[in-house]
Structure 1
Amino acid sequence: MNAMHQYLFDTYRAARLGEPMPPAPGTHDVAVLRSVRDRRRFERVLAGRPARGGRLAALRRRLRPRASRPGGPPRRGAAR
Structure 2
Amino acid sequence: MSVTQQYLLDIHRARQLGEPAPPAPGTHDRQVVRAWRDRRRFHAVLAGRPVRGRVRRALRRRWPLPPRA
What TM-score do you get using the length of structure 1 for normalisation?
A: 0.73
If asked which structure has higher relative contact order (CA below 8 Å, sep 6+), I would say: 2
- Compare the two structures and name the one with the higher helix fraction: 2
The normalised TM-score by structure 2 is 0.83
Identity %: 62
Aligned to 1:74: none
What is the RMSD of the two structures over their aligned residues, measured on CA atoms?
1.6
CA distance in 1, matches of 2:16, 2:5: 17
| Structure 2 gap segments, 5+ residues each | none
Which residue of the partner structure matches residue 41 of structure 2?
Answer: 41
* Alpha-carbon separation, structure 2, partners of 1:17 and 1:64: 61
| Cα deviations by residue, 1:5-57 (Å, 9 ceiling, x for unpaired) | 11111100111222111001111111111111111111111111111111111
> Which residues of 2 match residues 11-30 of structure 1 at below 5 A?
11-30=11-30
User: Segments of 4+ in structure 1 off by > 4 A?
Assistant: none
Count the aligned residue pairs: 66
**Whole-angstrom CA distance in 2 between matches of 1:57 and 1:22:** 42
Q: Distance in 1 between matches of 2:61 and 2:6?
A: 45
How many Å separate the matches in 1 of 2:62 and 2:31? 31
